[in-house]
């Protein structure tokens, strides 16, 4: 299992160095695991001829099996040790980063800890911090410009203006904006527009994310979302458009003081790996 997990990490993260960081191992330890796996199977899994790691045809075939084997192993361990891990975990996630990582993480976590009930709370970053200070959540994610004390940065994503495909609302002046009243991206967008001398007005005053997305989808206003969380019915406006750059945002993880134990460690590790995989470029596959 250890060698397969190391191999999967290398494939998912596009290299040994990034895989080692995700696994909290040294680079040499991961390399040794890959070498051991190749010796056990008497095949070459990675093409090391170029600077970028690529999978061989055998490596590509093994990767499919490895994912199924590890998933089945985790499910079996979870079922057989379910008495050791039970209870409830409260996870807080800003609505803008729920997809696509969180559903995959929760599915995997449930297979490993089937008797642990996960309560998912979706809210704004500042509200989640308030709930954590009140002891109402165990782990939160935050979309923020900077890392606050006690947290760790999982990844960083560009913040992009969003519009429906072929939309024209971004060209109108004053430009109409669709942001929630406590959305962390709202002041960022306003400051950028003011700095660029672009007149703006709000098209909605609501905390209903669906209402906000409906306005943007109807091309009645523009919004802003993290690049990897933009739904397929919207698109990021190109950097060369007439709107100012919005910079990037960190996705940070925080654990409430006193929130310890193997269950929370497991969930935190899965969140860490989930966002690392989402941020990593896909590994190149060599033709057979």
Q: Is residue 285 part of a domain?
A: no
Q: 286 falls in which pLDDT band (50, 70, 90)? A: very low
pLDDT tops 80 at residue 21: no
**What distance lies between CA 266 and its chain's CA centroid?**
16
Percent of the residues in the chain that have a pLDDT greater than 90, as a whole number: 55
Mean pLDDT across the chain = 88
The whole-number pLDDT of residue 83 equals: 58
Together in a domain, 132 and 261: yes
pLDDT digits (tens, 9 = 90+) for 35-59: 999 999 999 999 877 767 789 999 9
The whole-number pLDDT of residue 283 equals: 46
Q: Is residue 182 part of a domain?
A: yes
Nearest-angstrom CA–CA distance, 254 and 154:
10
Nearest-angstrom CA–CA distance, 287 and 284:
10
The whole-number pLDDT of residue 278 equals: 65
Q: Tell me which residue range forms the domain holding 56.
A: 2-80
Q: Is residue 288 part of a domain?
A: no
DSSP 222: B
Residue 86: phi, psi to the nearest 5?
-150, 165
Together in a domain, 150 and 161: no
Please tell me the total count of domains within the chain.
3
């Amino acid at each position: 299992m250890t060698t397969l997990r190391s191999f999967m990490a290398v494939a998912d993260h596009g290299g040994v160095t990034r895989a080692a960081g995700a696994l909290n191992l040294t680079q040499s330890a991961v390399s040794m695991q890959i070498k051991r796996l190749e010796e056990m199977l008497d095949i070459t899994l990675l093409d090391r001829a170029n600077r970028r790691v690529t999978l061989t045809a055998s490596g590509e075939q093994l990767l499919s099996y490895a994912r199924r084997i590890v998933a089945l192993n985790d499910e079996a361990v979870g079922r057989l040790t379910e008495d050791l891990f039970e209870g409830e975990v409260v996870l807080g996630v800003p609505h803008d980063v729920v997809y696509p990582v969180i559903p995959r993480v929760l599915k995997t976590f449930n297979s490993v800890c089937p008797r642990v009930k996960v309560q998912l709370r979706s809210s704004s970053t500042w509200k989640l911090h308030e709930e954590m200070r009140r002891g109402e959540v165990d782990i939160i994610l935050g979309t923020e410009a900077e890392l606050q004390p006690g947290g760790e940065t999982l990844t960083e994503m560009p913040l992009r203006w969003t519009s429906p495909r072929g939309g024209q609302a971004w060209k109108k002046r004053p430009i109409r904006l669709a942001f929630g009243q406590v959305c962390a991206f709202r002041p960022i967008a306003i400051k950028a527009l003011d700095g660029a001398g672009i007149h703006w007005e709000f098209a909605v005053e609501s905390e209903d994310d669906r209402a906000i997305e409906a306005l943007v989808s109807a091309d009645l206003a523009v919004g802003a979302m993290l690049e990897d969380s933009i739904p397929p019915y919207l698109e990021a406006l190109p950097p060369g458009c007439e709107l100012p750059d919005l910079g990037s945002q960190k996705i940070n993880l925080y654990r409430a003081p006193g929130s310890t134990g193997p269950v929370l460690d497991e969930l935190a590790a899965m969140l860490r790996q989930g966002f690392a995989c989402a941020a990593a470029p896909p590994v190149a596959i060599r033709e057979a």
